[in-house]
Amino acid sequence: MCIIVACLIYTYRAFKHAERLQAKQIILLGTSEWGRGSVRVKNLTSREEKDILVDNLIAELNSWTA
């Protein structure tokens, strides 16, 4: 099961909250991502990060549950 935490500002607090929820991924939306029309997805297990266009976000989320 995927638990997702989204936030508008990169903060230590957001990561701590995700850890408390035992989230697998966190989706971050900061000002630079907002300007590019993307979000940053971070896998909290592997620490891998990638930027995903908002238009492709639903497909990405669906791939997590497939």
Percent of the chain at pLDDT above 70? Answer: 83
How wide is the angle at C-alpha 32 spanned by C-alphas 8 and 51, nearest 5°?
85
Provide the number of structural domains found in the chain. Answer: 1
CATH number of the domain to which 37 belongs:
3.40.50.800
CA distance 62 to 47: 20
pTM of the model: 0.73
- Average pLDDT of the segment spanning 19-42: 86
CA distance 16 to 61: 22
- Average pLDDT of the segment spanning 48-65: 88
Q: Check: CB of residue 3 under 8 Å from CB of residue 23.
A: yes
pLDDT tens digit string along 3-30?
555 666 657 778 888 888 888 888 888 8
Residue 66: predicted pLDDT: 64
- Kindly list the distances between the CA atom of residue 55 and the CA atoms of 9, 58, 60, 66, in Å, as whole numbers in the listed order: 20, 7, 10, 19
Residue 66 DSSP code:
-
Residue 2: predicted pLDDT: 53
